[in-house]
Amino acid sequence: MKLIALVDDLAAQLEAAGVSFGHGTTNAFDEAVWLVLWHLGLPLDELDLHAERELRPEEQLAARELLHKRIASRVPAAYLTREAWLQGVPFYVDERAIVPRSFIAEVLADGTIDPWLSDATHKVLDLCTGNGSLAVLAAMAWPDVEVDAADISADALDVARINVDKHGLQQRIRLVQSDAWSALPGPYDLVLCNPPYVNAQSMAGLPAEYRAEPALALAGGSDGMDFVRALLRDAPARMNPAAVLVLEIGNERENFEAAFPRLEAVWLETSAGSDQVLLLTRDALVA
């Protein structure tokens, strides 16, 4: 059987099983590609190059076993492969941390927020760092900055340590266990935060794949804004005068604007639209 034929077969099985996506892929075909190429040790962006490769029976069998585990367990594929990719950069991940998928990664990579930064941008905070992916990407994007990567979860920080070491950034990324701002006096020039923001009603309806992730990294209270309220209330005291805060709130823009009706936010364009990620200046937060 050719590789592409196996991908098509596995994609059909994923579709029929009704699994949920959103942890690196958005559809059955892309997830099947991921599982097959990962199993074969091939780069995940080289499907076309290897599509006509004839697979040995044992290669087919092992890929099918991986697929059946994905269907039976209903956990994100990243937890099975122990690998997730963000902006072309590989990260280790396991069940101790949320699967990295923040749209903040896009605005780091494409320079969207660079106009708000300057030569004076030296100290960066990645709050709610999870597996450390945004901290790593920030350190890669700006070679002269130092990054604090903070999370309330010691387990998540253990995963982040793996990724900081993996990318050789031990000298520039400091891992901090902190409940919101409690262990973070600052001041910072740039704050990145992909917090728990899923509202209670949405949490109750999450598919199994999302329930496999740490609820601590997802649940944001009745309107999704519990953590965000504390974040924004205390942020100015930890920010330098010209600092900015980049915040992801997913599908909660309506709840965000209801909670902060007078806050002047700059909504940033991402592949998911212009209502997922916003930027706040310190001046706006003070006002």
Predicted local distance difference test score (pLDDT) of residue 2: 96
Predicted local distance difference test score (pLDDT) of residue 30: 96
Instruction: For residues 205 and 3, give the distance between their C-alpha atoms in angstroms, rounded to a whole number.
Output: 36
Omega of the bond leading into 187 within 30 degrees of 0 (cis): yes
State pLDDT tens for residues 115-168.
999 999 999 999 999 999 999 999 999 999 999 999 999 999 999 999 999 999
Predicted local distance difference test score (pLDDT) of residue 53: 95
State pLDDT tens for residues 131-145.
999 999 999 999 999
For the entire predicted model, the pTM comes to 0.95
Q: Which pLDDT band holds residue 273 (cuts at 50, 70, 90)?
A: very high
Instruction: For residues 61 and 48, give the distance between their C-alpha atoms in angstroms, rounded to a whole number.
Output: 22
Total residue count of the chain as it appears in this document: 287
For residues 39 and 83, is the Cβ–Cβ distance under 8 A?
A: no
Instruction: For residues 234 and 186, give the distance between their C-alpha atoms in angstroms, rounded to a whole number.
Output: 11
